[in-house]
Chains A and B, each alone.
Chain A
Amino acid sequence: MISSMNLVFVLALPLLSGALLFKILLRETNTGPGLAVFVSYGLGMGLLAHCMLWMAFFRIPYDMAMITAGLLIIISILWICLVKVFKVRWSPVSGNLFISRSRDQNAGLMIFWGAITLMTLFYIWVRLFIVPVTGWDTLATILFKAKVFFFRRSLDDLSRLPHSTYPLQMSFAVTWLSLVLDRWNEQMTAGSIFFGYILSFLGGAWFFLKRMGVSRSWTAMFIGFVISSNFFLVHFSGFYGDFPQAYYNFFVFACLVLWVQERRSAWLYLAAVLSGMGAFIKLEGLLYSGIHCLTVFVMLWRSSGSRSWRTIAAKMGIFLGILAVWIVPFLVYKQLVLPPLPVTDQNFNFSMIRPEFSIGKFGMMVWVLWADLLFSGNWSLITVIFFLTLCMVPLERYRQRPELGMILFSLGIFLTMVIAGFSSTRFYYDVIDAHDPMSRILMHFFLLIPLFIVLVLGRMENPAHDRSNGPFRGGGSCAG
């Protein structure tokens, strides 16, 4: 039996596979190891989950040796691709850890948010590793499924489990770690995986934003925005799928912003991979992949001044192709392997959506959304700052920065989808009866709001602002 102390070494396997995938996709881009390490965690967890799904296709039983062998095969294939096919020299220590286009820094602000982040991480650690897991979805679906897979060593019972049509990435991760530990200990396994997601998000966001040219002060402010948001904090300290869904969505948009800024297709392809992996977290992930596709299409179409439709089709084709690699297997598995399931609340099916539109419901849904964003206490003052930023920033800045328009467009599509979706289906009553579903859905795209804020305020193009582009004018104290 592998001791708990070896968990770190065990987690290194998916991390390594993720790092290799990252390196293959960004082989011609010098990102520095910082970004690679943090994003690799999400990529590695996605690879692990798909490895386990493919094992289910071939009816290979789940045990530590088989899954480890599967991961090692993936690592070997990626390594061969990297070294032999793409002729990239792998050197994890090459590159500058602090590659960044950002310039200023406000030490006081960074120390403040650093201290707040550390203390909050301590609280999250206590909640994840000391206080027993709670939450309906956590026990009833994610962990229960993982426990069944762990004891049965297969997906054979999936059709008889609650929410059997739901994606399985989170359950797979817990099953795998439990197999490694050779015992069921939900607190250690779920806690480790989730804490990994949180650290990966914080580190990844830091390096992504720095690469986008956001100043360090505003990058710290972004972390602060997320930490200060109560709903995120609640989800950081529980084992729900909503935060990992938000994690993948955020990284997809971070890649798309870099794609727009740097005009390197590698970021687009990494976004496609992350979007596909995000579709294996929650059912909504599939719809979000649709939003990502639409966003990419619009951005390609918008910049088609010098491009032909053929180029757009080629880029879209590659994006959709990569996406399909991650999305199609589970859809096929559900269609071919799972027996037909009765349509119930627990077995979501698109046929459950029955248009029941009315103006009253639409208006109520707009109000619920508005109230959640501004009056719920879930999101601190981030939404207020967002609206202020929208109002106070000159329009020219949006025209000069297409990535800002891209974020607003995606947010608009998302919010339209939420309002239209809830007000025209029977899910309307779920939202009216409890505000939690609306907050959880909003959380999936909410990180775009602080991203927008820091991209606008933290990356002033006007030289007159360069001296003072910290959150507080003059780059000095809070009193500014």
Chain B
Amino acid sequence: MKIKPATIILTSLVFFILLGQIYCLARVPSVIDFLLSLAQMSLGEFAFNFVSGLTFKSPFDSNRQIPFFAIAGFTVLITFYVLLIKKNLRNEPRRPGVPDLIQICLVIVMIMTSVRTAALLLLATDSISSYGTMTPDERLIKDYQASYQFSRMLSGHGRVRVISGYEGIKDLQFRMQLAYFLYPLDVRGIHPGPTQACIIVNKENARHYVPEDFYVVKQWDDRTLIAFRKSESP
């Protein structure tokens, strides 16, 4: 059988992909173990990972992620490819049309998308049962309680100072969410003017950080409170 240049290129491509997979899975003992670990995932976690780029966290090393689609797809693809080579070796006449290998890929895409769509429906049902009966306000409380709870306490215009005990990205996220949910109260210092309220969160002995001329309006616990300037009313 004469080997065509396209066959050589494709074989190289498949092996390159295979090597890439080995690279991705370097520290994972076996795909079987990985698949078994899926059964232990809760629906939410499963669906989230399933949807968000299908990069499952490796059950053996949480810092590594496994491109599940790629594993499943390429494994089947290589299997079919081997079968195809066997078929070609038998010198069966080729029919015109879409190349076999592409047809195989299309079938794989269809199978995988069907499986994923089933997972999506489960996730949608799960979301409806969690959020469906809630008001928009309750939904935000559920997802953003740390920041959104303050917007229920405060209203109107003016500047708000935030003293946060969070660190790094969590602090950034908290301030970003607070700025969004509280607006038109100004957390980011967009509008000029004196500070009218102060939010203290996640600070041990929060009362200690209340600025002068401010009084505590509401205190949730030792770490979280809202204070107002003395000239202001809640």
**A interface, CB within 8 angstroms of B:** 112, 116, 119-120, 122-123, 126-127, 130-132, 134, 136, 139-140, 143-144, 147-148, 151, 157, 160-162, 185, 187, 221, 224-225, 227-228, 230-231, 233-234, 237, 371, 374-378, 380-382, 384-385, 387-389, 391-392, 439, 457, 462, 464-465, 468-469, 471-474, 478, 480
**B interface, CB within 8 angstroms of A:** 6, 9-10, 13, 17, 20-21, 23-24, 51-55, 67-70, 73-74, 77, 95-99, 101-103, 105-110, 112-114, 116-117, 120-121, 123-124, 127-128, 131-132, 136, 139-140, 142-144, 173, 176-177, 179-180, 183-184, 188-191
B residues in contact with A233, CB < 8 Å: 51, 120
A127 to B132, CA, bound (A): 11
A132 is contacted by which of B24, B132, B143 (Cβ under 8 Å)?
B143
**Are B20 and A371 in contact, with the CB atoms below 8 A?**
yes
Q: Which 5 A-B pairs have the closest CB atoms?
A: A377-B67, A377-B54, A473-B97, A228-B113, A123-B120
B residues in contact with A469, CB < 8 Å: 97
A residues in contact with B127, CB < 8 Å: 126-127, 130-131
A2 to B196, CA, bound (A): 34
B21 is contacted by which of A116, A375, A378 (Cβ under 8 Å)?
A375
**Are B112 and A140 in contact, with the CB atoms below 8 A?**
no
**Are A122 and B20 in contact, with the CB atoms below 8 A?**
no
Identify whether the interface residues of B are mostly helix, strand, loop, or mixed: helix
B residues in contact with A130, CB < 8 Å: 127-128, 131-132, 139
B190 is contacted by which of A157, A371, A468 (Cβ under 8 Å)?
A157
Measured between C-beta atoms, what is the minimum distance from B223 to chain A in Å? Answer: 24
**Are B96 and A230 in contact, with the CB atoms below 8 A?**
no
**Are B103 and A391 in contact, with the CB atoms below 8 A?**
no
Identify whether the interface residues of A are mostly helix, strand, loop, or mixed: helix
Known: A130-B128, A157-B191, A471-B103. A143 touches B180 (CB 8 A): yes
Report the tally of A-B residue pairs with Cβ distances under 8 A. 178
Known: A123-B124, A234-B52. A381 touches B108 (CB 8 A): yes
B residues in contact with A384, CB < 8 Å: 17, 73-74, 77, 105
**Are A224 and B113 in contact, with the CB atoms below 8 A?**
yes
Known: A126-B127, A380-B73. A161 touches B190 (CB 8 A): yes
**Are A381 and B113 in contact, with the CB atoms below 8 A?**
no
A122 to B13, CA, bound (A): 37
Measured between C-beta atoms, what is the minimum distance from A145 to chain B in Å? Answer: 10
Sample 21 A-B pairs with CB under 8 A, ordered by A number: A123-B120, A126-B128, A130-B127, A130-B139, A132-B139, A132-B142, A136-B176, A139-B176, A143-B180, A144-B180, A187-B136, A228-B113, A230-B53, A374-B17, A377-B55, A377-B70, A381-B109, A465-B97, A468-B96, A471-B103, A474-B97
A231 to B132, CA, bound (A): 26
A140 to B147, CA, bound (A): 13
**Are B51 and A119 in contact, with the CB atoms below 8 A?**
no
Known: A230-B53, A380-B109. A389 touches B102 (CB 8 A): yes
A106 to B135, CA, bound (A): 44
A198 to B179, CA, bound (A): 29
A380 to B67, CA, bound (A): 10
Measured between C-beta atoms, what is the minimum distance from A184 to chain B in Å? Answer: 9
A residues in contact with B120, CB < 8 Å: 119-120, 123, 233
A residues in contact with B136, CB < 8 Å: 132, 185, 187
Measured between C-beta atoms, what is the minimum distance from A386 to chain B in Å? Answer: 10
A residues in contact with B190, CB < 8 Å: 148, 157, 160-161
A residues in contact with B131, CB < 8 Å: 130-132
**Are B180 and A375 in contact, with the CB atoms below 8 A?**
no
Known: A144-B183, A468-B96. A230 touches B69 (CB 8 A): yes
**Are B98 and A472 in contact, with the CB atoms below 8 A?**
yes
A residues in contact with B116, CB < 8 Å: 228, 230
A472 is contacted by which of B10, B106, B177 (Cβ under 8 Å)?
B106
Measured between C-beta atoms, what is the minimum distance from B179 to chain A in Å? Answer: 7
Q: A228-B109, A376-B67, A478-B107 are in contact. List 9 more A-B contacts (CB 8 A).
A: A131-B127, A140-B176, A157-B191, A230-B54, A375-B21, A375-B23, A384-B17, A464-B96, A472-B103
Closest to A161 in B: B190
